[in-house]
Amino acid sequence: MEPVSHYKSNLRDIEFNVFEFLRVQDYLKEDLWPGVDSDTIRDVLSEIERLAREDYAASYVDQDRIPLKLENGEIKLPESVKKSIAAFKEGGWDSIGLPVEMGGTPMPAPVTWSMTEMLCAANTTVQFYAGGALFARVLFEEGTEEQKEFARLWAERGWAGTMVLTEPDAGSDVGAGTTKAIDQGDGTWHIEGVKRFITSGEHDSAENIIHLVLARPVGAGPGTKGLSLFMVPKYLVNPDGSLGPRNGVFATNIEKKMGLKGSATCELTFGGEIPAVGYLVGDKHDGIRQMFRVIEYARMMIGVKAMGTLSTGYLNALEYAQQRIQGADLTQASDKTAPRVPIIRHPDVRRMLMEQKAYAEGLRALCLYTGWVQDMERLHPEDDIWARRNDLLLPLVKGYSSEKAYGLLSLALQVFGGSGYTQDYPLEQYIRDAKIDTIYEGTTGIQALDLFFRKIARDQGAALASLSAEIAEFVKAGDADDALASERELLGKMLDDAQAHIGKMVEHLLASMGGQAEEIYKVGLQATPLLESIAEVVISWLMLRQAEIALPKAGDDPFYQGKVAAARWLVRDVAPKVAARSQRAQGEDGSLMDLPVEAF
């Protein structure tokens, strides 16, 4: 008998988002998504759910508890992990989302992100190893004609891929990197340096690993502008596509870490006794822009991963709460002979469950709506508002989703009580595996600074104004009999509070540019609260739009009843928080920056 899977999907809510909320079926175009219709999408989602629940989940415990070992520069993965990876590739699922020219099957973004949710939530480690086609796509779209052919081969052969940015002394300050590239004059470069925290930097689940590496050509300028992007294969590739000799890139350390233990996070050393041969991507020095193609995808993926982990954590807690019998109903608490009830009857357990449900579904709405925006960008390339909106939403998806999911997974564990702290249930592993999401691809503070300085201030508020106008329209749209009238009113107040928060930060920014340099500290102190507030306004808007769809269908249908209840609960939960953050921002005096270090 097969063991029960730890992973619990919410395929019903995914399909609600795709077909009822975003209505992907209404905008499918043959030239962008050839051969794709509603039935195709349903089949893909259903089969990915099965793959996640069965094949991916099967090695989730092994990847955590079978230690990885680095021996002679090589890492061998547990057989169960390799079996899970093989199931993904053998099913041809790594071609979904790739362009037709690469032998792929294009799919609308809400569908591919739903796939990512299920696969990452079932076993992120496996998905990291299996996801080399993403990197191949970046090379295909950024590379020379010869590199495009290499990218096709890469995808066809199922080679693995990595993104190689971080250095031991640079950390998040990518522009401080010192790894150098030496032009050999024959179209190749020698890469020399040490990189750290490289996900899937070494393993034996694919016959080759292709590293995309940021390095500074000798003589190039400082900072990120001086960096170029190079393709560095683990094994050199012969003109006929066969593997050549081992290239000079080796794993020289493997990190011992809190979670995702089966994901080989490595120190990679380039050059030494064997030169590390690299190829300049696109044959042009445009590294940071090219690498940001990968970074932006990775940020979105991490936000989706976090949301999916919260969702399965909640569903595990929900199941436990329905089965665990403990205590009498609160109305009979003084009666020692009263029957014991499932803990889902206890008010505080219900509070915890609704908090998890509302945010899990709200974060899914945010992630899949962002995917819809990405599709609008493809459908309407002449209108740059969609690209701007996608840019605005990405730090919310990555920063807010990762922070909220990690915090609420602790709440899911709380439902289990002491049992949740043991390895009898998956919650303790979910929490360990999810913590990295707030750090991956830029910490939450970095996402917040990106949101304010790049996505709001540099954009002169254009994308934010467009989105705010849509939210304001929704607030005003209800009639006298509107069942969501009070929630719309709260949303309108939240929007006003968030805009006041932004306005105060813009005041500080302008003052800093006008000669009062220290005023910029006030922006930094209030940036992360702003990210939280904007995310909560957007999520509340999306959830209320979903409630509007669900209300006529609620009747006796528990799914739609839950959708309406979650939206109402969420808005009431976040409205006072947005107001409090705005009030705090109005009174920010920057005094924290004057405090002596010794006082901390």
Amino acid at 516: Q
- Per DSSP, the three-state class of 546 is helix
Taking phi over 0 as left and psi of -120 to 50 as alpha, with beta for the rest, 185 belongs to: left
End-to-end CA distance of the chain: 57
Cβ atoms of 429 and 423 closer than 8 Å: yes
CB neighbour burial string for 355-367, b if at least 16 within 10 angstroms, e if fewer: bbbbbbbbbbbbb
Cβ atoms of 164 and 174 closer than 8 Å: no
d(CA 160, CA 152): 13
d(CA 17, CA 372): 10
Sign of CA pseudo-dihedral 415, 421, 422, 428: positive
Burial class (CB in 10 A: 0-12, 13-18, 19+), 505: buried
Cβ atoms of 410 and 428 closer than 8 Å: no
d(CA 375, CA 110): 8
d(CA 427, CA 242): 44
Cβ atoms of 104 and 155 closer than 8 Å: yes
Amino acid at 215: A
- 63 CB-near residues (< 8 Å, 6+ apart): 78, 81, 123, 125, 126, 260, 261, 262, 263
Residues with a known catalytic role: 441
CA-angle at 315, arms to 25 and 21, nearest 5°:
20
Q: What is the 3-state secondary structure (H, E, C) of 121-132?
A: HHHHHHHHHHCH
Closest CA to 547 of 558, 536, 559, 563: 563
What is the enclosing helix (H) or strand (E) of 93? none
Q: What is the 3-state secondary structure (H, E, C) of 279-342?
A: EEHHHCCCHHHHHHHHHHHHHHHHHHHHHHHHHHHHHHHHHHHHHCEEEECHHHCCCCCCCEEE
Q: Where are the beta strands (DSSP E) in 187-248?
A: 189-199, 209-217, 228-233, 235-237, 243-246
**Residue 473 φ/ψ, nearest 5 degrees:** -60, -40
- 482 CB-near residues (< 8 Å, 6+ apart): 488
- Per DSSP, the three-state class of 7 is coil
Q: Where are the beta strands (DSSP E) in 165-208?
A: 180-183, 189-199
